[in-house]
Chain A
Amino acid sequence: MKTFLQSKLLQGIIVSNVIILIVIWLNNLFHSEKDGILIYSEFVILPLLMGVISAWFWRSLNLKSRSIIWYSILDGFLAIVLSYIFLGEGTICLIIVSPLIFAFVITGAFIGKAMFRKNNQTLNVSIVSILLVVFTVDSVSDHHYRNMVSDEIVINATPETIWKHVVSFDKIKRANTYWLFKVGMPSPMQTTVTAYRKGAGRKCIFSNGYVFDEKIVTFDINKDLTFDIIGQPKDPEIMGHIDIERGQFLLKDNGNGTTTLVGNSWYSLKVFPIWYYDLWAESITRNVHLRVMEHIKEISEQN
C-alpha cells in the first residue's frame, strides 16, 4: 500500500486530476459560461488530456493493457468524485457523465502510451497543442441547443373526459418503471392549476418536492393546452443542466370514441456534446411525458 501511495501510478492519477481541476478553474475564471453551461471540451478534451498526463507518469512502468484500463477507470472515478465535491454535481448527473469520462480517459491513456513509447516529441507537442487549441476555441464559443420531444398515446375516452385530467391531476401512485426514476431521479407526481383559463398559473410537482411553475398560454378547451415554464428548480442533478421551456398537450378526436393525446416539450440543453447528452435528455423527457400521459389515460378510462 505504501509503495502504491509513493508510486508513479498514484502520481499519474493525482497529478492528472489536479491539472484538470486547475484548467477548469482557470477556464471558469476567464471564460465563465453564462447559466452554468458545460461545454464539449470539459467532457471530451479534458478527460483525454487526463489520460495522456497519466500515461506520461506510467510510461516507464510497462503496464499491461488491462492495468492501464483499470487505472484509467480509477483516474476517471476520482475526477467524478472531485466533480461531486468541488463542482457540486449531483449523483444522477454523474451516473450519466461517467461512461463518457471513462471512455475518453482510457482513450487518452492509450494515446499517451503511444506518444511516450518513443521520444516522439513532434507528435507529443502537436497532439497536446491541438487539444489545447480545441479546448480554448470551444471555451470562448457560444453554445446554444434547443430541441422538442413529442410523444403520443391513444386513450379510450372522448376529449371532453380527458381534458380535465390534462389541465390538472392528482398524485400519480403507480410505481416508476424508468430506471433513472428508480435510482432517485425526480419523477412527475402531480399538477395543480389556479384557474381553468389562459393566463392561469399551473404547478408541476415532482417526487422530491421540486415544483415547476408554469403559465398557461393556450387554453383551447378539449384541444390544446400549452404552457410556458416560468420557474424551475436549480437542482445539482440533471435539472440544473436542462431548461424545460414549454409544454403542450394536444387532443385529437379519432371519431370512434378514442382520442390521441400528444405531449410535446421544448427544452434547451446546457451540457455538451449534444450527440451524447441529447440522447439522455430525449430519454428523460420522453419518460416524463409517458408517466404523465399514462396516468391521464388510466384515470380517463376509469371514468
Chain B
Amino acid sequence: MFLFIVKRLNFLKSIPLFALVFDSLIKMWMLIAKPERLDQIDEIEREVLKWKNTSVSLHKFGGTQFNYKKIEFAHIHSNGILDILFLRKIKSELMLEGKIKEHHVFKKSGWISFNVQHIEDVNYALYLLKRSYEIGSDK
C-alpha cells in the first residue's frame, strides 16, 4: 500500500498536508497491527537526539526527519521504512552487508532504505544513522 502510493500516486504529495495525514493513517494502522513498531521508532528518535547538534522535525513526505545542524540526513516513515543519505561509495559498501536496499524512490542516489521490522533491527538502524551522522559531523 505504502509503496503503491509512493510510486503510483506520488503526485498527491504536492497537496498540502496530504503526506502528513497519510502518515497519521499509517500510525493508526500500526497502532492496531504492530504497536511495537511505533515504540521502535520512538527509541530510534530518542537515541539520535542524544547525539550532538541533532534535531528531529516532521518530514515533508510524512514521518520523522533527522537533522544534523538543521540539515536532513535521514528520515523514518511510520511504517518503519528508514531512509538515510550516504556518500555513494559508502552506500555501495553497505549494500554488500545485504541488509539495506536502494532507496524506495531515488534508486540512483546516495539514499538507502532499511526496513525496521523487529526490535533487533533498531540496533542496525542506529548503526546506519550513526555512520551517516559521523560523515556529516566530520565534514
Contact = CB atoms under 8 A, between A and B. Distances in A.
Interface of A: 44, 48, 64-66, 69-70, 102-104, 106-107, 110-111, 114, 117-118
Nearest to A102: B28
| Residues of A contacting B: mostly | helix
Given A69-B31, A106-B28, 13 more contacts: A64-B39, A64-B42, A66-B39, A69-B27, A69-B28, A69-B38, A103-B24, A104-B21, A106-B27, A107-B23, A111-B58, A114-B56, A114-B57
A114 B20 CA distance: 12
A104, A106, A117 — which one has the most chain B CB atoms within 10 A of its CB? A106
Given A103-B25, A106-B27, A66 B20 contact: no
Interface in B9-38: 17, 20-21, 23-25, 27-28, 31, 35, 38
Chain B interface size range = 10 to 19
B115 interface: no
Nearest to A105: B24
Given A102-B28, A111-B58, A65 B21 contact: no
B59 to A, nearest CB: 10
A70 B38 contact: no
B58 A65 contact: no
Contacts of B54: none
Contact of A65 (B20, B25, B27, B55): B27
B129 interface: no
A117 B31 CA distance: 23
20 contacts: A64-B38, A65-B39, A65-B41, A65-B42, A66-B35, A69-B27, A69-B31, A102-B28, A103-B21, A103-B25, A104-B21, A104-B24, A106-B24, A107-B17, A107-B20, A107-B21, A110-B23, A110-B58, A114-B56, A118-B55
